[in-house]
Structure 1
Amino acid sequence: MARTVKNSKSAQQRRAEAEALQATITEQIEQLRESGAWERFLGFAQSFHHYSLGNLLLILAQRPDATCVAGYRSWQARNRQVRKGERGIRIFGGRTVRETIENESGEEEEQSRVRFFPVTVFDMAQTDLIDAEVGDPTDISCSLTGDDPAGIFDAVSDYLTGLGWTVERDNIPGGAHGITTTDGSRRVVIGVGLAAAQAAKTALHEAAHVLLHVGEDPSEYVEHRGVKETEAESVAYIVAGILGLDTSAYSVGYIAGWSDCDADTIKATAANVLRTAHHLADAITEPTPAAEPAPAAV
């Protein structure tokens, strides 16, 4: 029998609480946007190269959990050091070169063209901060600590298993917390070293990906990844909150990063998020016993 979360709230109460939690996401994102922490993060993020769709697909294929990628020396310039032994992500770089050619008239002329060549980049999760005193501009979310007293992880695991997915706890290279496969293998992997609370939240996040995004074309996911990650983490935040687990220390910063701290993006995803949150909360929560009928009048 599938494990569920014991919860005394009715389905109607859970729906009302979900809507209230969805509204708090926007409020907290707006507060973060006004803070110095967001300005520091934005300055850091804007310094990154914008990759072509082809390179984004290459990055996703080699490292599905990648967030920010840069070359070895570029990371050093950003006060981060690639850890020894990390495996790089191979993409294509381009450089404009000028060369002399002979035109149709037999005259020499210079032309410019872009020459492509393989380069190696690394994800931020493969790096460590060099000088802590300088500060880390990416520090807008903190991993959760503590327990999972409601048994959220077990309930989500059983729910996904019932849908034909395999849920595993394993080491994930680079420090990602969770992965949902898109190659047809139907596997969800949750990091083995996570605290119970973080593992529970991550399981909810990956379950949201399964419900919302699996089956989409990879290019669709890459092109709109910020929206997809915003949706999945919003679902996790709402469902966890309904079940008594506050994930705001992690979720708000995560959502801010992927939504570009844009309240309009949060509002635009609300319908998808609430529909999925309602479904997931109902699926993993023990049904509330029906009220006993009043005794008949004598």
Structure 2
Amino acid sequence: MSPRFVVVPQWQGSASARAMRLIDGAEAIRGDLPASRTRVVDVPAEAGDGQGTGVQRFSALATTRERLAAELAAASAGDDPDWVLTVGGDCGVSLAAVENAAARHPDDLAVVWFDAHPDLNTAASSPSGVFGGMVLRAILGDGCDGLALREGTVPPSRVVLAGARDIDPGEEEFIAGHGIRCIEAGDVSTPDALVEAVRATGARHVYVHVDLDVLDPADVAGLANPVPFGIRVPDLVAAITALTQEFRVAGATLAGFSPASPDAADDDLPAILRLIGALAR
């Protein structure tokens, strides 16, 4: 079943100097999506404030979460609901998107997190205080009210990290302490290990999160937080294809496109559209 698309030009969860360019990136991708199957979430224009949570720009992020949740609920209503590909913006948009998928598949959803960063900090451990580095931890139920799922919605045993290579000490400790499965970027070139890791979770449905910084910067220039030695585009396409052949896709995110300018977005769009095609097949 082909997905619906929800575009969320959220930038407030990013620590990058190019955070505002995430708006341009989301808009560039939206221009190549089918208009009849695409909705756009209205993201607050203001940065927002922390409201004592320790999360920068909390108020804007919480508002966007509520608006995205409403769009996802509408798209997934009915007896034969569509699944949704959520297009960021920063990767914090995955909070509401995973919540929606988990509500529909509460007992057998695995989350595959393609990201150069595990995003497993808390407000206390984060070096930056931005939500993009906390979102997976919030999905696992550890975060402030308004930006965290109920604990147990997705347990750590059903999370697979793929391509993470910029990991903070607190994140390393959490990964080891909770036995989270990890696939290194170099091991994604052959999808067997990734598929086996997801199979070991016991899940039949999968949520696929792709932050574009999981890719090698040689393949995509428009990255908000580039990290060297990433996954190459053909290998990521093959990995996603293997997942979609083995498991049912309950939802997906594609985030982190931050082109240097609107015109520069055209250089990266062919690679990005290949990834969307693999997710949406």
TM-score (normalised: structure 2) = 0.29
TM-score (normalised: structure 1) = 0.28
Q: Whose Rg is larger?
A: 1
